[in-house]
Chain A
């Protein structure tokens, strides 16, 4: 089948959504489909630029390429699903969250003036149209599917993506807690830093880069954590697998995250996860005292959880192994079958 995977791209930024689109493309290719990944730059500010970005996708003609028809388009996250195609399937990573549940919070974008309010509503109307016309709707997590139902009244089948292929293994329980992911405020790495400041029994390694890095480095200095926190930046696959294999536990506590590959990757390395009760998607796999620790979004609670895991390595590994069973159930065969066969 001739397939195009659509994914927007914020230049110089890479995260789970980009990885998902690349992996999907690779997996389709591995199954002998004629597939290509189409991206367009995405900028969501100022003002109505978010809508213009969506319009660009709408104007893209992906019904055929080089005189040959494209049989299927798989769109992933906002605004790529604004693309027009008679056989459009959406595997929804997330909508433009600033227009939905983040509105009115410190992570929101739209102010109270009439233009901003209307822009937000225009995003809703656009989603109604662009998602509503899709031949099939899938969501990467129950959290994303629930948001879609509550906000737009649309039903999506939950289809979680398998984590990336790494040399997952368990080597030892080191002394450091690992944080993996793009560094922005919503990931709340600052909570982990403050937890480390409150409890000297563990160190921290932060793998990832992003707009929040400078603030986090400043915070680590302020908290006197220079020797106990290492900002590793973006690491290659080999180094990432080694970090997973040697950490004490993995911290992953974004605000109402869509999905989150990190807990799956941690479990495949037989490392348990510390998350918070408001983390969203990760809670679909991290269950308190079954696969990890779910605590309040509070440095003291996080420090207490890490300390407990350090003192109970057998329980921690048993929980991680339970999580590993869940992670092992996700397969690209299922994903490809559903997306192509829906």
Chain B
């Protein structure tokens, strides 16, 4: 089985490139897998199945969507909300009609009218204000022969769009944890709370800072370490100050962290926080790494994050009491080392059981094998049914054959 693999790859700085950097060598031990060079839209000769990794970043995934539209295949949907991607491939390139069509495909006439409002400057850009209400995922799903997702949440969303081809749910794999010593932080602290990743507004930094300020009042020994790119240092300063905290004292910002430095940093943390709202249906590489190192998690109770077991993650509803709830969870974890230990062990066990790379590769191979020969199998079964139908005088308009087709679908045939 020859697989054409379309994905951003390291050294690109994206979570999906990191993911593929981990997955590809392991998959290549099991299948004849060819990583397609970035920007290429043709399939390698003799390809049995093409695998397209699609995320919400038009710069990283535009060429992949272009290749998908040229040759259908299996889509690995890393985000469900693809509004940024589709807007980047249409309106940002002057293709207004493409954006109008995508919005209409998503939400009918209402979608098209809103898109007109955006194009004419009468409405603020949807991709900045409420992309989750117009995910534009159909613009990709329409070309997919099957979809690989990482969560039940996205599976349900995909099915809710009426997608009736195969969906495989394959968890994100854990990275092997290197032997490493904990990073020496600029300040000593009894308990270190970490928050990693690209710190965009969906990461709810102001809420985290306000909650941490409450914790600090009761536990001055606690330290918050924020690591990841931010759009504005000034904004961070503002949020920290507004919360009554002081940057470089109770809060440390480390900026973007290279892959090699992530593990020592994780090792230095006692609790990891990963808040998210709105969710684009994504999983979090930071959370998966946290499972691998066995640390307790505090997450928003949304999307994929809600699917984490309670034994592993405290889940904070995104509501009026968000800050209070978050503060209470952090307070508990800071003061109870036995609880941290239990949740950390459960996290490590979950990583080993559900997110082991071997298991993920098994699931990928199963999906690829099913996808590569699906048409062959379906044709053969249909031929048996058709021959029996013809020989017994049933024609293609027979209601009996509708029943046969429905039964075949139920059995995944």
Of the candidates A58, A116, A117, A120, the one whose C-beta lies within 8 Å of that of B411 is A58
A125–B381 touching, CB < 8 Å: no
B411–A54 touching, CB < 8 Å: yes
A118–B376 touching, CB < 8 Å: yes
B341 at the interface (CB under 8 A from A): no
Interface segment among A45-53, A274-282, A322-330: the answer is A45-53
Q: Complex formed: what's the CA distance from A84 to B411 in Å?
A: 10
A128–B384 touching, CB < 8 Å: no
Give every chain A residue within 8 A of B92 (Cβ-Cβ).
Answer: none
Give every chain B residue within 8 A of A119 (Cβ-Cβ).
Answer: 373, 377
A52–B407 touching, CB < 8 Å: no
B410 at the interface (CB under 8 A from A): yes
| Given A51-B413, A117-B1, A126-B413; A58-B407 close (CB under 8 Å) | yes
CB distance from A187 to the nearest CB of B (A): 30
Q: Which residues of A contact B (CB under 8 A)?
A: 47-49, 51-52, 54-55, 58-59, 82, 84, 113-122, 124-126, 128-130
6 further A-B contacts with Cβ under 8 Å, apart from A55-B411, A58-B410, A59-B404, are A48-B384, A115-B380, A121-B366, A122-B413, A125-B370, A126-B412
Q: Complex formed: what's the CA distance from A82 to B381 in Å?
A: 15
Give every chain A residue within 8 A of B11 (Cβ-Cβ).
Answer: none
Of the candidates A51, A59, A121, the one whose C-beta lies within 8 Å of that of B381 is A51
Give every chain B residue within 8 A of A58 (Cβ-Cβ).
Answer: 407, 410-411
Give every chain A residue within 8 A of B322 (Cβ-Cβ).
Answer: none
B381–A124 touching, CB < 8 Å: no
Q: Complex formed: what's the CA distance from A51 to B411 in Å?
A: 9
| Given A59-B403, A125-B370; A118-B411 close (CB under 8 Å) | no
Which chain B residues numbered 373 to 391 have a C-beta less than 8 Å away from chain A? 373-374, 376-377, 380-381, 384-385
B230 at the interface (CB under 8 A from A): no
Q: Complex formed: what's the CA distance from A94 to B371 in Å?
A: 26
| Given A54-B411, A55-B407, A125-B412; A117-B384 close (CB under 8 Å) | no
Q: Complex formed: what's the CA distance from A113 to B374 in Å?
A: 12
Give every chain A residue within 8 A of B413 (Cβ-Cβ).
Answer: 51, 55, 122, 126
Give every chain B residue within 8 A of A117 (Cβ-Cβ).
Answer: 1, 369, 372-373
| Given A52-B381, A114-B1; A122-B370 close (CB under 8 Å) | yes
Give every chain A residue within 8 A of B381 (Cβ-Cβ).
Answer: 48, 51-52, 55
Q: Complex formed: what's the CA distance from A130 to B385 in Å?
A: 20
CB distance from B387 to the nearest CB of A (A): 10
B interface size (C-beta, 8 A): 24
Give every chain B residue within 8 A of A82 (Cβ-Cβ).
Answer: 411
B411–A126 touching, CB < 8 Å: yes
Show 28 residue pairs from A and B whose CB-CB distance is below 8 angstroms, ordered by the A residue.
A48-B377, A49-B384, A51-B413, A52-B384, A52-B385, A55-B381, A55-B385, A55-B411, A58-B407, A115-B376, A115-B380, A117-B369, A117-B372, A117-B373, A118-B369, A118-B370, A118-B373, A118-B377, A119-B377, A121-B366, A121-B369, A121-B373, A122-B370, A122-B374, A122-B377, A124-B366, A125-B412, A129-B412
**Total contacts A-B at CB 8 Å:** 81
Q: Complex formed: what's the CA distance from A82 to B374 in Å?
A: 20
Give every chain A residue within 8 A of B374 (Cβ-Cβ).
Answer: 118, 122
B394 at the interface (CB under 8 A from A): no
Closest 3 CB pairs of A and B: A118-B373, A125-B412, A121-B370
Q: Complex formed: what's the CA distance from A121 to B372 in Å?
A: 11
Interface residue SS majority, chain A:
helix
CB distance from B146 to the nearest CB of A (A): 11
Which residue of B404, B408, B413 has the most chain A CB atoms within 10 A of its CB atom? B413
Q: Complex formed: what's the CA distance from A54 to B385 in Å?
A: 12
A114–B376 touching, CB < 8 Å: yes
CB distance from B122 to the nearest CB of A (A): 48
Q: Complex formed: what's the CA distance from A129 to B371 in Å?
A: 17
B407–A114 touching, CB < 8 Å: no
Which residue of A48, A119, A125 has the most chain B CB atoms within 10 A of its CB atom? A48
B331 at the interface (CB under 8 A from A): no
Give every chain B residue within 8 A of A114 (Cβ-Cβ).
Answer: 1, 48, 369, 372-373, 376
Q: Complex formed: what's the CA distance from A194 to B384 in Å?
A: 44
Of the candidates B1, B373, B408, the one whose C-beta lies within 8 Å of that of A55 is B408
A51–B377 touching, CB < 8 Å: yes
Give every chain A residue within 8 A of B385 (Cβ-Cβ).
Answer: 52, 55
CB distance from A103 to the nearest CB of B (A): 11
Give every chain B residue within 8 A of A128 (Cβ-Cβ).
Answer: 412
Q: Complex formed: what's the CA distance from A84 to B371 in Å?
A: 26
Give every chain B residue within 8 A of A115 (Cβ-Cβ).
Answer: 373, 376-377, 380
| Given A114-B1, A126-B413; A59-B407 close (CB under 8 Å) | yes
Q: Complex formed: what's the CA distance from A118 to B374 in Å?
A: 6
Q: Complex formed: what's the CA distance from A198 to B370 in Å?
A: 47
Give every chain A residue within 8 A of B410 (Cβ-Cβ).
Answer: 58, 84, 129
Q: Complex formed: what's the CA distance from A118 to B371 in Å?
A: 7
Give every chain A residue within 8 A of B48 (Cβ-Cβ).
Answer: 114
Give every chain B residue within 8 A of A116 (Cβ-Cβ).
Answer: 373
Give every chain A residue within 8 A of B372 (Cβ-Cβ).
Answer: 114, 117-118
Give every chain A residue within 8 A of B376 (Cβ-Cβ).
Answer: 114-115, 118
Give every chain A residue within 8 A of B377 (Cβ-Cβ).
Answer: 48, 51, 115, 118-119, 122
* A116 to chain B: closest residue by CB: B373
* A118 to chain B: closest residue by CB: B373
Q: Complex formed: what's the CA distance from A114 to B370 in Å?
A: 9
Of the candidates A49, A52, A120, A122, the one whose C-beta lies within 8 Å of that of B412 is A122
Chain B 44-72 per-residue mask, 1 if CB under 8 angstroms from chain A, else 0: 00001000000000000000000000000
CB distance from A79 to the nearest CB of B (A): 10
Give every chain A residue within 8 A of B371 (Cβ-Cβ).
Answer: 118
Give every chain B residue within 8 A of A49 (Cβ-Cβ).
Answer: 384
Q: Complex formed: what's the CA distance from A55 to B1 in Å?
A: 27
B411–A129 touching, CB < 8 Å: yes
Give every chain B residue within 8 A of A129 (Cβ-Cβ).
Answer: 410-412
* B388 to chain A: closest residue by CB: A52
Q: Complex formed: what's the CA distance from A125 to B385 in Å?
A: 19
Give every chain B residue within 8 A of A59 (Cβ-Cβ).
Answer: 403-404, 407
CB distance from B232 to the nearest CB of A (A): 46
Q: Complex formed: what's the CA distance from A315 to B413 in Å?
A: 55
Which residue of B366, B380, B385, B404 has the most chain A CB atoms within 10 A of its CB atom? B380
Give every chain B residue within 8 A of A125 (Cβ-Cβ).
Answer: 166, 370, 411-412
Chain B 26-57 per-residue mask, 1 if CB under 8 angstroms from chain A, else 0: 00000000000000000000001000000000
CB distance from B312 to the nearest CB of A (A): 19
Give every chain B residue within 8 A of A47 (Cβ-Cβ).
Answer: 380
